[in-house]
A and B are shown apart, each in its own frame.
Chain A
Amino acid sequence: MSRPQGIRTDKLSLWYTKFQALVDVSLEIDHGRVTGLIGPSGCGKTTLLRSFNRINERIEGVRIEGHVHILGDDIYAPEVDLVELRKRVGMVFQRPNPLPLSVRENVLFGLRVHVPRGELRRDELNHAVESSLKEVGLWDALKDKLGQRATSLSLEQQQKLCIARLLPLRPEILLMDEPCSALDPSATQRVEELIRELRDRYTIVIVTHNMAQARRISDECVFMLLGQVIEHRRTEDLFLSPKDERTANYVEGRFG
């Protein structure tokens, strides 16, 4: 069965000044699935994820070779508009990073940045807030607290809000970098549920160092080591019958 392509990288290499953090990464990530990125700390998971929306470029001394195609378009082509790219490829970070604004303004921030003032009608804004918060399951808890500062919410709510914040821009791809690592187990469980609910509508790439989590939520899994992709298969297959010895060692917890 062939699915439309979400992300394809072609011999992608990335250097931080002299240090090579990604080595010839060639990957195909299907659209409309959850793909887990696993591997020991420092193997380049975050770096790879951040090269999918070109956030890495803001770091001094970063050099990139190779190609990344998202939904068929080469995002490192010269004519690519970063603003458009980042609208379609949203990112959730390891630590929740709501802006120091109200809940409502956090959700609307993307729209405010992209649509000229005056073209935003109040009922449209209200609708965007309501539907985004509903989609992440925060509406009932927060509908009476839309004016509250987002930074005063619980970490779980903050992280969900950070996901909600991406939705008004109608992204197609959601990148998540260890989105649960700052959360307690029950909050983690609820965020995982949310990710499962979102999986049909978006291509989700999630970095995790938690193997059990990767098994629970991902359809496919990519195992990385020292900047290279070692194995990329259906999650069950990768965990039950890894082809590469290093994958086997890692998923069985012999190093990591």
Chain B
Amino acid sequence: MPRSPVGREIDRVDGRLKVTGAAEYSGDYRAPERAADLAHAHLVTSTIARGTITRIDTAAALASPGVLRVYAAPEPIERLALYGVTGQAAGFTEPYIPLQTAAVRFYGQAIAMVVAETPEQARDAAALVTATYAAQPPRTSIADEPHVPAGPTISGSPSSLDILAPGVESIDAALAASDVVVEAEFHQNVQHHVGMEPHAVLAVWEEPDRVTIYAGAQIPAAYALGMAQRLGLLPQNVRLITKYVGGGFGARVVLWSDTPLAAAAARELGRPVRLVLTREQMFTLTGHRSHLTQTVRLGASRRGVLNAVSHRSIAERPSTMSFTMTPAHSTSDALYRTPNLHVDAQLAVLDIPGSRAMRGPNEAPGSFALETAMDELAIATGVDPVELRLRNHATTHPVSGLPWSSKHLEECYRVGAERFGWSARSSRPRSRVDGQWLYGTGMATAIYPAARRTGFAVRVQLRNDDTAVVSTGTSDLGTGATTMVAISGADALGIPLARVTPEIGDTYLPPGAPAVGSSGTHATVPLVVDAARNVIAELKRLAVTRDGSPWQGAAAEDLRYERGILHGGGRSMTFGRLLTAIGSRGVDMESSPGGDPIPGVIHHSFGAHFCEVRVNRFTGETRVTRFTTVADVGRVINAKAARSQLVGGVIFGIGHALLEENHLELRTGRLANSTLADYLVPVNADVPDIDVVMLDEPDPRLTGPLGDGSEDVGTRSLGARGLGEIGTVGSAAAIGNAVFNATGVRLRDVPITPDKLIEHL
């Protein structure tokens, strides 16, 4: 009898293909039928941040060996035939048509494209293209440029809001009336997603009005829709294949300029075109996390009970693609109980490359500020940091007043503190020294919304060889989504994992959940459950109606499906044998519509981080030595992939706290650290063993009814909330708090680097 794979340590179904290099990522895909025809494109980028292109000299590039075309601004290039994007897809498409005007909006914008027979010829010819500009001084300072209100958050709530207790006039009054006040300002520079796989696209036109695109995309449907509009095609005539993706983190949410350009060139040339961005180009052409300033003020009683929380921020609004950065969202407006709350997010319009959500888009920076301030409050009140958080534990959501669908945060603190040995800690800063190293510990809370998204579908097919195919057009960014689809299919059908083939990453499949907002799993699993239910019902219907079936003429209600076998009237048969008997190769059904969020509750995932660092007392390097994370993320579908996600999230936090920043040159608008030598991400040596615990408490109130609601899929939906981002939320603060405990130095500007620390050591 097969054991359900749910919750076990399951290897990725595509693991072997990936580690052996057999998995074909977008840039590897060879388009076998048209391989001989394949042409290669390379982009040329601007070297000013604001102004107009006066002239582009393409003569040398055109004369270069193997060059087929050079497309260059400033003249609108009609033969590229690119159009505007409106409506639903516009929010996920870079809002200007590339190479169609002389305007330069940021340093590193695409201003020309060379297409040649080989990638090297294209790259070398691109280096011969020269541009002259009429430059204007760029707007680069979030401090100095005018501020505008950010507008609604991603979940649609206001980014600026006040909740005041009866009789309290303002947040300032609430703060003034508090016994203890902590006020702190935080800065962080531009950060980047830095997926391992460079952005790559292959465009293959099958017919003059029909194209297949191979590219990494987090929201395949929106990507394909945006492409259709950019290219002036019917939506159904763009097929996007996004089977293997080497990291998204938000950078592949948007249809940037590279994919439309490659597809337009392929159309004009009548040949397949591949375009691979260089690592340097990825820093300016595929988004970043906005740099920002945050101010947090906490007012509390002497016992540390919060009376007022104020969280304000100023971030970028790039003049092109802009992510609305609202760092108090789902952090200060959700985490703790407080009678008085003020959050506010402002943006400054800058001539800087487009920004995009990056893993824990608001929550990672927001929690760094809030959770650092909470640590400062713990110091100011003398209350232990864990105890302080327990004293301010919220049982209902502070803004909406709604209860949570499921919340086990207190348990996260308890389990984490015990595993980590928190009680052995000295709260006195700089009290543990071992040779050259100062040791310290810190902790922080993690929270991430689990907003359920609907409108997607899954198809389950039962085949006459007793295997099943589970299909949905979601994408697997490397998270293990493909494996999650297989696991939930095997569980829902009660058959061994090896007999389930997952099929994802293709917009010709039923529309899949976007791989964003840690929502892929919790949006997909209930649909798999429902599609399995539907296909089993269909199987029963065939069993009682079709010739060749032993049950022909019986009542479907009298049949029972269990673990791949139909039972009834004293007979049993696997679905494969039944299908064979009735002469069918397979039967498939899609999931039903519905599954809307359950009203009256709010969904978040929670966690607690505990960390130990050592800081060199001479030279100020911070090294993370221990890390424990306890996560309350609902049911765990695949323990192995889930742990990887949480570990990866914490590593993002290490980068955030200690390493990652791209310096914007205020004078030129150039992002100065746009190489992997100058933009530091953690390497293995920076990462200790990370101890991850998942409480594995299924969320009982995650999904509303699907279809006719005749069966409660809600409770059968496994209660998995998703966990791609929560490891990143709060982990940087835990590290910063540990640095304070080790050294007595409080740094509110990340990354925490030796140059900043030594001043105080």
* B is a partner of A: no
A residues sitting closer than 8 Å to B (CB atoms) are: none
Instruction: Give the interface of B toward A (CB within 8 A).
Output: none
